[in-house]
Amino acid sequence: MARKGSDLTQASWLVAGALAGGATVFVAALGSRAGLWTPEFGLRTLTFAVAPALTLVGVACAIALAVWSMRRPRTVGLAAAVAVLAAGGTAASLGLRWQTYQTPSPWDVTSDPDDPPGFSRMLGQRRAAAGAVRAVSPAGPQACLGAVPTPSQLAPERAAAALEAAGFTVIGSAAFRAEGERRGFWFGLAHDAVVRIRPGRTDVRVTARSDVAQAGETCRLASALARAIAAQAGA
């Protein structure tokens, strides 16, 4: 009986080691969202530096448990299965995320690269207070698939409704423009959006507040906003 208890204790430590990498990513995401540290630290340091090292330790723990379970399947078999699934899943997820986040993607997206919508003084002040980067792209705002202008002059209240539909919180609207901001759930990565309204045309601009890799998030948000505007124009 004492031997079984000792085995279970050792197996528990090995399972904890197998879970360490995934737990680090979870803590990194929630800590960034709660403001305990910056999203840059959560992603660059905890997720893509500390977590991979702990995941390697986790894989070693899982292998050790798998080998051990061959000799004592009734005692540590379940623990070995949990460890293998946890370590393997974390390694696969981190590998996929690493590849995705290393793919270059624009952080400042607009439907009109030649004449991009500008930030109002209020939004500029909010970005400055949040420590936002001033120029996320030397080339200026860029185009991306899906972020297209709407050939219609949208009413400001409809532009505000489109911002809300795309997941932004409206912070201001006036004649010929509306603005909003959005903070992502996991790492708290923030984006600002501008809707510019002109006779016969409505343009969008979405800009990240951080220069950390966005994995295409800015383009997805700008595209979602453009679709919401088109829907409001056709309503």
Give me the pLDDT at residue 138, please: 63
Q: How far is CA 125 from CA 35, 43, 176, in A?
A: 20, 26, 20
Give me the pLDDT at residue 64, please: 87
Give me the pLDDT at residue 2, please: 47
Sorted by sequence, the CB contacts under 8 Å of residue 153 that are 6+ apart come out as 197, 198, 199, 200, 201, 202
Question: Which class for 93: exposed (0-12), middle (13-18), buried (19 or more C-beta within 10 A)?
Answer: middle
Query: How many Å apart are CA 22 and CA 94, to the nearest integer?
Result: 9
Q: Which residues of the chain have pLDDT under 50?
A: 1-2
Give me the pLDDT at residue 171, please: 94
Query: How many Å apart are CA 113 and CA 109, to the nearest integer?
Result: 8
Sorted by sequence, the CB contacts under 8 Å of residue 47 that are 6+ apart come out as 24, 25, 28, 29, 94, 97
Phi, then psi, of 74 in degrees rounded to 5: -70, -30
Give me the pLDDT at residue 101, please: 67
Give me the pLDDT at residue 188, please: 79
Length of the chain counted residue by residue: 235
Name the pairing type of β-strands 177-183 and 201-208: unpaired
